[in-house]
Amino acid sequence: YHCPAHRTPYNRMWLPAAVLLTCLLDWSPADAVLGLHLPQGGVLYPRTSEIREVQSLDGIWNFKLDTSDQEGVRNRWFEKDISEMDGAMPMPVPSSYNDITASATVRDHVGLVWYDRGFFVPKSWQNQSFRVWLRFGSVNYFAQVWVNGKKVAEHEIGHLPFTTEITDVLKFGQENKLTVAVDNILGYETIPQGSLHQVPTMEGLKTIQRYTFDFYNYAGIHRPVYLYTTPQVYVDDVELTTDIDGARVHVNYNLLYKGYSPTDTINSTLSVVDKDMVVCYETCIVENGSGNISGRIEVSSPKLWWPYLMAPDPGYLYTIEINLHSSETGVTDVYRMSYGLRSMTWDNNTVYINDRPIYIRGFGRHEDSDIRGKGLDLPTSVKDHNLLQWIGANAYRTSHYPYAEEIMDLAESQGFMIIDESPSVNTENFTQILLEKHKIAMAEMINRDKNRACVIMWSVANEPRTADKGAGPYFGSVVEFVRSLERRRPVTAVIATPYNKDEAGQFMDVICFNRYNGWYTEAGQLESIQLAVESEAQNWREKHLKPVIMSEYGADTYEGLHILPNYIWSEEYQQQLLAEHFKAFDNLRKKGWFIGEMIWNFADFKTDQSITRVGGNKKGVFTRQRQPKSSAFLVRRRNFQLASMLDGVKPPSDLFTYTASARGHRDEF
């Protein structure tokens, strides 16, 4: 058998399942192999309104591994009922499937898995001539979707949403069948990258997945699945930007709508509503079916979006209400979304929000929790943001992929600044196909998050191999592409390559560098840290004359391990290592171009099995169960002391534990 997409003989052990599925069924995954195909239209989050209805498809689905030479493809499982097959099992959605069972076979599976479930749609949706849409928040890594045996969607690259209209394939008033095939195989031209290897066993060769990034390659339907309705003429996308000139605040809007005819007359109303339900501005526009409505409005008595601890009311959000009336259908679409008013500028020294310089006190993180893996975990997400407030952080990076929209909503409403990162991690082998997929990932991320006040930078990659041949032109092209889409935020990449070998920093607006002094470099030598950090930051600055952030530093710590004097892996060592970095940061901050410190990591997380990882990566200041290590209290004191110095914040009353009265006499002790 020959696969036309790769022009190589079909080899069961080495051909990625997504490619095989494409070849057998004559599909082209995301068209990425054939050229750059960018998102066509919006991915507005499903929200109910006077006209729109939303139905969740989350719950317990049927699930089955495809372990026998692509049996599901050959036997067309998308036309069958998975629950009636041998080996079928229940699987919660959303979740990663890896840790749900007690089976290593499920956990370590490489290749296709299949999900299905039944669902009904109300006949009223048909009676009202609604369009019906199917939306996935994220499926990792490659998804193929069928409704009632008919293929309706495909999407490559995890951590990003995709949507498709399914009106024409639905059975109104009858049960419908939704089937999803998920492929977790990573290759040299996926985002992120990986490779397949064969391990000899008594039963023959076993295929395993390997990758260089240091987090577990969880797979499955990771985020919510929704059905939602729109009228025939509907709001497809909205782009909002803010201009601030002294006390005057203007919002620029660009509204895209679809489903209209050239003879249709469209009446649209855009309202800005504050938290007290006061309409701060309302504009009405009448136009003839162009598909696009743009304008500029001034908001009265504006309340700006501020980061946490930079203002008394951080994370202030307005509601943008859009009404779109079609004269031909007589129906009005209504869509509401939150929006924060803030400006963002930057120069060669720093980044400003609302004309005030920022200083980042934050973390790298992961979407990771017990049992659920990378599946959306709302209790853990809320807990995480409560802990971020408690510890006095004001920012985090979505390392190393875009986080769930529900998590971004939490961050935005609480005032956390976000460095929004693409799924490109440890990028190497800079091919044209990889470049095209990288651009698709950036376009989808920017399309999703363009209206978020909390997003202060776009990160195009984490620790790419920027000293390798081709890295310079590759990242020059990626950054140029990002700027062609959006110029109101700085662009960065998180770089681990030494400054004198890196070829990517020249294209960035902000330099973010990672270095593990006292851990991977000079392990145990705490006295070497301050000089090393200050010297490297200065070198990056002198090479590029741009703002600098230390975006990763830290040490693995096994909770409960106490050793005096401090010793690697102990809680004492982690505390002292962080403190040595703090000394360097305080000196660097005085220079005016060092703008942030971000600990790796907020909480412990799962990795692939390795003799250097005891149950995962243990660099968190919290455990995977979100309990504090000793260093969390040290970081909390530093963050609130910095907030007090830089922004006049009154520290919390419990920041320091009482020990003795300063007014006591010596003979009292």
> What distance in Å separates the CA atoms of residue 338 and residue 433, rounded to the nearest whole number?
36
pLDDT at 662: 64
pLDDT at 253: 95
- Residue type for 537, please? A
384-400: pLDDT as tens digits = 999 999 999 999 999 99
Three-state DSSP string of 587-636 = HHHCCCCEEEEEECCCECECCCCCCCCCCCECCCCECCCCCECHHHHHHH
Tell me the mean pLDDT in the region 588-600: 99
pLDDT at 290: 81
> What distance in Å separates the CA atoms of residue 121 and residue 171, rounded to the nearest whole number?
8
Evaluate whether 93 touches 376 at the Cβ level (below 8 Å): no
| β-bridge pairing 491-495 and 511-514 | parallel
Tell me the mean pLDDT in the region 94-116: 97
Strand runs labelled E in 274-383 = 279-288, 292-299, 318-326, 332-339, 344-346, 351-353, 356-357, 360-364
612-662: pLDDT as tens digits = 999 999 999 999 999 999 999 999 999 999 999 999 999 999 999 898 876
DSSP 145-160: EEETTEEEEEEESSSS
pLDDT at 10: 26
Cβ neighbours of residue 101 under 8 Å, at least 6 residues apart? 89, 107
What confidence tier does 22 reach under pLDDT thresholds 50, 70, 90?
A: very low
Mean pLDDT for all residues in the chain:
92
Kindly list the catalytic residues: 463
| Omega before residue 94 within 30° of 0, cis | yes
pLDDT over 60 at 666, yes or no: no
SS3 assignment, position 272: strand
pLDDT at 20: 40
pLDDT at 617: 97
CATH of domain 53-184+219-231: 2.60.120.260
Evaluate whether 299 touches 279 at the Cβ level (below 8 Å): no
pLDDT at 668: 42
pLDDT over 60 at 27, yes or no: no
> What distance in Å separates the CA atoms of residue 191 and residue 159, rounded to the nearest whole number?
11
Tell me the mean pLDDT in the region 578-596: 99
512-561: pLDDT as tens digits = 999 999 999 999 999 999 999 999 999 999 999 999 999 999 999 999 99
Residue 495: phi, psi to the nearest 5?
A: -115, 135
pLDDT at 495: 99
What stretch(es) of the chain map to CATH 3.20.20.80? 346-647
> What distance in Å separates the CA atoms of residue 338 and residue 47, rounded to the nearest whole number?
11
Which residues on neighbouring strands pair with residue 255, listed in sequence order?
A: 238, 293
pLDDT over 70 at 438, yes or no: yes
Tell me the mean pLDDT in the region 35-50: 82
What stretch(es) of the chain map to CATH 2.60.120.260? 53-184+219-231
pLDDT at 665: 54
Evaluate whether 266 touches 304 at the Cβ level (below 8 Å): no
What confidence tier does 39 reach under pLDDT thresholds 50, 70, 90?
A: low
Token pair in block for residue 93: 């959605």
What stretch(es) of the chain map to CATH 2.60.40.10? 234-339
Topology of the domain comprising 234-339: Immunoglobulin-like (2.60.40)
What confidence tier does 288 reach under pLDDT thresholds 50, 70, 90?
A: confident
Residue entry with tokens 């009228």: 231
| β-bridge pairing 176-183 and 360-364 | unpaired
Nearest to 463 by CA among 343, 600, 644, 630: 600
pLDDT at 627: 98
In residues, how long is the chain? 669
pTM: 0.93
419-431: pLDDT as tens digits = 999 999 999 999 9
SS3 assignment, position 223: coil
Evaluate whether 639 touches 599 at the Cβ level (below 8 Å): no
- Residue type for 197, please? H
pLDDT at 42: 85
Cβ neighbours of residue 459 under 8 Å, at least 6 residues apart? 397, 398, 419, 420, 421, 422, 492, 493, 494, 512
At the top level of CATH, the class of 346-647 is alpha beta
216-244: pLDDT as tens digits = 999 999 999 999 999 999 999 999 999 99
pLDDT over 90 at 280, yes or no: no
What confidence tier does 664 reach under pLDDT thresholds 50, 70, 90?
A: low
> What distance in Å separates the CA atoms of residue 374 and residue 502, rounded to the nearest whole number?
31
pLDDT at 372: 98
> What distance in Å separates the CA atoms of residue 669 and residue 660, rounded to the nearest whole number?
9
